Amino acid sequence: MSETLDSDLYQRTKALLEPGEIELVGCIVHTDLSGQEDLEMHELTVATNDVIAEHAGSGETYIEAGNDDTSFSSNQFQGRTLEDESFVWECQQLLRDGTFDLVFYYEAGVDQDALATALGELDGVGDVTQVP
């Protein structure tokens, strides 16, 4: 992946974390999954949900998909708690240079280093870029 594309994605991700109702941080999960591997990308998103929820201490979560709700775009997802449907994370799946990058945003306070390490151990993940 070119450094220009990486830098652009990092800057765009950082801009989306601008102050809002809650302080957010994020990460970009670079994968080796091609545009033809939708099922594997879905499985990776589910596995990432579990890892982020565990590190956030959120308890059990479910994934709300963009195609389930008109307030989201397609390939946009949110992780929400089962208990009270609280926000845990949001994700956008981007196909770039022939492989998927998954951009996740979540509430600040998560140990970013530990989360990035755990995400990097998932099947199909290349690098994980932290976005403070």
Cα angle vertex 80, ends 77, 85, to 5°?
Answer: 130
DSSP E strand boundaries for 1-132: 24-34, 61-65, 76-81, 87-96, 99-107, 125-131
Mean pLDDT in residue range 37-66: 92
* pLDDT band at residue 1 using 50, 70 and 90 as cut-offs: very low
What gap in Å lies between CA 95 and CA 23, rounded to an integer?
A: 27
CATH class of 3-13+23-131: alpha beta
Question: Is pLDDT at 4 greater than 90 in this prediction?
Answer: no
Q: Where are the domains of the chain?
A: 3-13+23-131
Q: What is the pLDDT of residues 37-51, one digit of tens each?
A: 988 988 999 999 999
